[in-house]
Amino acid sequence: MKTDRWRQIEQLYHEAREREPGERDRFLREACADETVRAEVESLLGCESQAEGYLETPALEVTAEALAEGRERSMFGRMLGRYEIVGFLGAGGMGEVYRARDSSIARDVAVKVLPPGIAADPERLRLFEQEARAAGGINHPNILTIYDVGVQDGAPYVVYELLEGTTLRDVLRKGALSRRKALEYARQIAYGLAAAHDAGITHRDLKPENLFITRDGRVKILDFGLAKLTLREASTERDTSEAASSSQNGAGSVLGTPGYMAPEQLRGGIVDHRSDLFNLGAVLFEMLTGRRPFRGSSTSEILEAVLNDDPLEIGETGGEVDPALARLLRRCLEKNPNERIQSALDLGFDLEGFLLPYQETPRARWKKPAIGMAFAAAVLSLVLLFAIRKLESMQSDRGPRFRRLTYRAGVITGARFAPDGQSVIYSAAWDGRPVEAFTTRIGGPETRPLGLPSTGVLAVSSAGELAVSLGCELNWAECRGTLARMPLAGGAPREVLQDVYYADWSPDGKNLAVVRAVDGRFRLEYPIGRVLYEAAGWITHPRLSPKGDRIAFLDHPTLGENDGSVSVVDLSGHKTTLSTAWKNLKGLAWSPGGDEVWFSADRMTRSQFVYAVTLSGRERLVLQAPGWMRLQEISRDGRVLLLQASPRGRIMCEAAGAAAERDLSWFDWSTAAGLSADGKKLLFYEWGEGVAGNPTVYLRDTAGGDAIRLGEGRALALSPDGKFALALQKGPPPTLVLLPTGPGEEKRLATSGLKEYYSATWFPGGKRILFVAAGADAQPRSYIQDIDGGTARAIGDETMQAVLVSPDERLLAGIGSDGGYVLRSIDGGETRPIRGALPGDDLIQWSADGRFLYMRAPGDSPLDFFRVNLATGRREPWKRIDAGDPVGLIGIQPAAVYMTPDGKSYAYSYWKTLTELYLVDNLK
């Protein structure tokens, strides 16, 4: 109940508030004798500055925001059909987009989850599927490829190719683009639209948010066909036309950003493909000038301008004026669709004209190759050449003779002879750039690009036609993309089939055999559409026999694993296995007579030789040489194309005070496992050929010097005092061991019946370790174990997998039951989310003062480190590192990135491979 005292406080508060801050003290002293009342008023006045804005956000919004954050976390790990959500990518006009793993073929995809509203209405759901499938049917490099659609828990989702890059909106945030880029992007968009319009599909909501620029500069149009649904979705929430014409506050939210839409779209008139051209005109205008063509200070003013005013002239915005280009833009932005430019194809051609001055002629490119030579690769190859020479001299004159065909640094994805046998066509990602197709003449130094960016070479027909992989995405140095055929003599590629992994021509050059995945299962088709073999695992390297009566291929029982058999299937689908129990199988070709199938593989891990097997199953070794020898093709006269690959696991490290990163890799397959607190020692292990496949732990000064072998196992963590390395030995049973870094004995820790280990770290005091492991029930749990004896003790329930211990040993950080990062007291109790950390981030280190967690954002290059302030949840950028040498980079090794608690030193591991192409004569 209101007391007098409270009433007095209230009155004094308001009266004091009305006075200048400097006068308030005096006023209170004079007006109030009661000191406790005065103190109360002063304390309230003291809060005033902070109260501005307090509680102004309604509770519903506060809760919804918290829910929004929570939902991002809770999606992590969920299954949508056969797709497992592994990360959050962003959110757009039609729903949230997640990174997901396609469990059936172990590839990463993007999944867009749409609002559940759509699925509630069967008619709309049907429309959604129909639209998505129609859009998925458009096969064009400038249109996002849709793999699949489905509905889960009432929410429809669309599965599409995972792209790396950024939206045009993000690009435009930095201002206008160069004229050349703007025109180039517009050209690609125009051609994408042309393909869609051709198929009778309009976009209806083209805008910078819906245009994606991939890393290699290709534009992909997103959300085709979904716009119609967006509008339907919107119209159930409010009346569309009314919102568009009158509302100032939310129209943009449902209808897309005004200023890109054509007048007929705003009026609710007939919308057709020409509306898309208006949209594109507005986008091009913005790319050129950084401004939108119609201006206004509010939504309604902008809408008004689109309906009634002429667009701004490019010149008005301060950009350079090209009358012809200004005219083209005006033609796109005509209010009356009949007076507008009429076709996307025409627009594309017009833009092409503007781009001509920028284009390098193929001839000009011709002269360059010698400059592009990379000498790093040459050094490596010298070693090989030396070895090969030695091999040559030991054999008779009739032994194999190697001729090197490529000299640049990077990865070659495939190579084939040209029909004349005198040239070789190959595709390679040189110098860290996207894959491109080249041709080189045997014996001549000249290499010529075929002018096909992002294209991998799959096969060359006897009739001189190429089968290529457009939009090649690299996966361990091989391409997957859209199969297209094109004449070697020149001409545009003609797309045949999406998502093709391998292809080969029939001997007459008329038909193609392909390997692709349909509904998650790999199948071999010949001709396309006729399934000869469907695999439980996957299929690689199909090759038609010289007579064309059967296809040899590599048959891998486990997805993603290279183990398997060499098989042939005849044209009626009858399969025979010729040779089995191989490891590292890659590359296959028929001998010229068709009596043998040659292939690259080994029966050990991590090496690759060339073997042959007859159709009756007799095996022989053809070539044993240093490095991995990957068979590409055998010509009719018996010459062999081989790739020599040298995949390596590398460690890069920058220690506190060092001037630069240092390569601390030791043998061929190095993986970092920890840094000492002062950044002076690096713990790592080797698990490649250098140690014959037996994982071995090493310690090395980060300033360089020789690595010291500590013992067997996979290294997990270095003790805080640097005296022990914690490592895991394979067993059975797998056992944690302590390997002394100085004198002393190896010590085994009690195994406690655990079968699988996931992560391990030391307590800062150095007396205990924390690790995540699973026993017979395969449920990962967190354990604490004293290093001086005793068994592992599971901590708490299963709500969290703890991976880091705070410096005061009171808190644990790890992954919560919903996949998000959480903190918890070491004594148990509730977990609480770590704000600022998102699923997909890597938890790296606790800062020495306990206030921050160092994390790494997902992605291969650059490595983005940030630190999360545990008190505020603020995510502060910490370091950005370009991963080593991008040439031949395959990926950052998971869970092999380390930072010291002072944030000053770091180390990480990545995989890379370099390949060179050889022509081998006399190989028998």
The whole-angstrom separation of Cα 194 and Cα 198 is 6
Q: How far is the CB of 173 from another protein (least distance, A)?
A: 10
Check binding of 239 to another protein (CB under 8 A). Answer: yes
> Which among 734, 623, 725 has a CA at the least distance from the CA of 676?
725
Tell me how far, at minimum, the Cβ of 249 lies from another protein, in Å.
4
Q: Which stretch binds another protein (CB under 8 A): 90-98, 137-145, 331-339, 563-571?
A: 90-98
Using CB under 8 A as the binding rule, whether residue 572 contacts another protein is answered as no
* Contact status: 671 vs another protein (CB under 8 A): no
Does residue 237 belong to the site contacting another protein (CB under 8 A)? yes
For another protein, the closer CB: 327 or 874: 874
Residues 131-160 that bind another protein (CB under 8 A): none
Choices 7-15, 137-145, 318-326, 636-644 (CB under 8 A): range interacting with another protein: 7-15
Q: Shortest distance, CB of residue 835 to another protein, whole angstroms?
A: 8
Which residue in this structure is represented by tokens 């609002």?
115
Asked whether position 65 contacts another protein by CB under 8 A, the answer is yes
894 token code pair: 């998971």
Which of these segments, 6-14, 321-329, 406-414, 915-923, binds another protein (CB under 8 A)?
6-14
β-bridge pairing 512-518 and 521-525: antiparallel
* C-beta closer to another protein: residue 178 or 298: 298
Binding-site string for another protein from residue 94 to residue 113, where x marks contact by CB under 8 A and - marks none: -xx-----------------
Instruction: Tell me how far, at minimum, the Cβ of 852 lies from another protein, in Å.
Output: 14
* Window contacting another protein (CB under 8 A); options: 42-50, 219-227, 545-553, 907-915: 42-50
Joined together, the tokens standing for residue 178 give 């160069």
**What is the C-alpha to C-alpha distance for residues 28 and 47, in angstroms, rounded to an integer?**
16
Binding status of residue 115 toward another protein by CB under 8 A: yes
The nearest distance, CB 102 to another protein, in angstroms, is 24
Contact 82, 102 (CB under 8 A): yes
Minimum gap (Å) between residue 14 Cβ and another protein: 6
Region from 233-241, 636-644, 707-715, 805-813 binding another protein, contact rule CB under 8 A: 233-241
Closest listed residue to residue 652, CA positions, set 899, 875, 477, 445: 899
CB atoms within 10 A of CB 577: 12
The nearest distance, CB 17 to another protein, in angstroms, is 8
* 858 scored as a contact of another protein (CB under 8 A): no
Q: Which span (8-16, 100-108, 224-232, 690-698) binds another protein, by CB under 8 A?
A: 8-16
Among positions 169, 433, 441, 851, the unique one binding another protein when judged by CB under 8 A: 169
How far apart are alpha carbons 823 and 834 in whole angstroms? 6
Burial of residue 569, with CB atoms counted within 10 A of its CB: 0-12 exposed, 13-18 middle, 19 or more buried: buried
Q: Pick from 31, 45, 326, 571: which binds another protein (CB under 8 A)? A: 45
Distance of CA 240 to the CA centre of its chain: 38
Which segment (91-99, 290-298, 645-653, 778-786) binds another protein by CB under 8 A? Answer: 91-99
Residue count, binding to another protein (CB under 8 A)? 62
Residue 17 near another protein by CB under 8 A? yes
- By CB atoms closer than 10 A (0-12, 13-18, 19+), residue 415 is buried
Contact stretch for another protein (CB under 8 A) within 718-726, 837-845, 848-856, 866-874: 866-874
Q: How far is residue 444's CA from residue 186's CA, in Å, rounded to a whole number?
A: 39
Does the protein bind another protein through residue 91 (CB under 8 A)? yes
Among 72, 108, 304, 921, interactor with another protein by CB under 8 A? 72
Q: Would you count residue 245 as binding another protein (CB under 8 A)? A: no
Q: Is 211 helix (H, G, I), strand (E, B) or coil?
A: strand
**401 CB-side CA count, 13 A:** 7
Which of 209, 495, 596, 633 binds another protein (CB under 8 A)? It is: 209
User: CA-to-CA distance for 871 and 692, rounded, in angstroms?
Assistant: 48
Q: Establish if 819 lies at the interface with another protein (CB under 8 A).
A: no
- Binding segment toward another protein, per CB under 8 A, in 37-45, 177-185, 378-386, 697-705: 37-45
**What is the closest distance, in whole angstroms, from the C-beta atom of residue 51 to another protein in the complex?**
5
To the nearest whole angstrom, how small is the minimum distance from the Cβ of residue 769 to another protein?
A: 30
Buried b vs exposed e over 741-764: b needs ≥16 C-beta within 10 Å? beeeebeebebbebeebebbbbbb
DSSP sequence for 244-295: HHH-SSSHHHHH--TTSS-HHHHHT----HHHHHHHHHHHHHHHHHSS-SS-
- CA dist., res. 739 & res. 741, Å (int): 6
Nearest by Cα to 82 from 57, 52, 56, 104: 104
b/e per residue 101-110 (b: at least 16 CB within 10 A)? bbebbebebb
Q: Does 60 bind another protein (CB under 8 A)?
A: yes
If binding is defined by CB under 8 A, does position 744 make contact with another protein?
no
Letters for 870-909 (x = contact with another protein by CB under 8 A, - = none) are: -xx-x-----------------------------------
Rg of the chain (C-alpha set):
32
User: Which stretch, 22-30, 46-54, 851-859, 907-915, contacts another protein (CB under 8 A)?
Assistant: 46-54
Residue 95 Rama label (left phi>0; alpha psi -120 to 50; beta): left
User: Which residue, 6 or 476, has its beta carbon nearer to another protein?
Assistant: 6
Say if residues 790 and 807 touch (Cβ distance below 8 Å).
no
Rounded to whole angstroms, how far apart are CA atoms 536 and 520?
10
Least separation in angstroms between residue 849's CB and another protein is 17
Query: Going residue by residue from 327 to 356, which x/- string records binding to another protein, judged by CB under 8 A?
Result: ------------------------------
Examine residue 810 and tell whether it contacts another protein (CB under 8 A). Answer: no
Q: Which of 4, 56, 706, 777 binds another protein (CB under 8 A)?
A: 56
Binding range to another protein, per CB under 8 A, among 323-331, 385-393, 804-812, 869-877: 869-877
Least spacing, CB of residue 69 vs another protein, in Å: 8
Q: Closest Cα to residue 852, out of 832, 864, 868?
A: 868
**How far is it, in rounded angstroms, from Cα 85 to Cα 406?**
41
Quick one: which of 236, 395, 422, 577 contacts another protein (CB under 8 A)?
A: 236
Distance of CA 839 to the CA centre of its chain: 15
Q: Is residue 628 helix, strand or coil?
A: strand
**Residue 13 sits in the site that holds another protein (CB under 8 A):** yes
Q: Helices 323-332 and 344-355 sit at what angle, rounded to 10 degrees?
A: 160
Among 30, 33, 50, 175, binds another protein (CB under 8 A): 50
In terms of CB distance, is 53 or 490 closer to another protein? 53
b/e burial code for range 301-328 (CB count within 10 A of at least 16 → b): ebbbbbeeeebbebeebebeeeeebbeb
As measured in angstroms, the least distance from the Cβ of 510 to another protein is 49
Alpha carbon 205 to chain centroid, angstroms: 26
Residues that bind another protein (CB under 8 A): 1-3, 6, 10, 13-14, 17, 43-48, 50-68, 70-72, 90-93, 95-96, 115, 169, 209, 236-239, 242-243, 247, 249-250, 252-253, 257, 830, 832, 871-872, 874
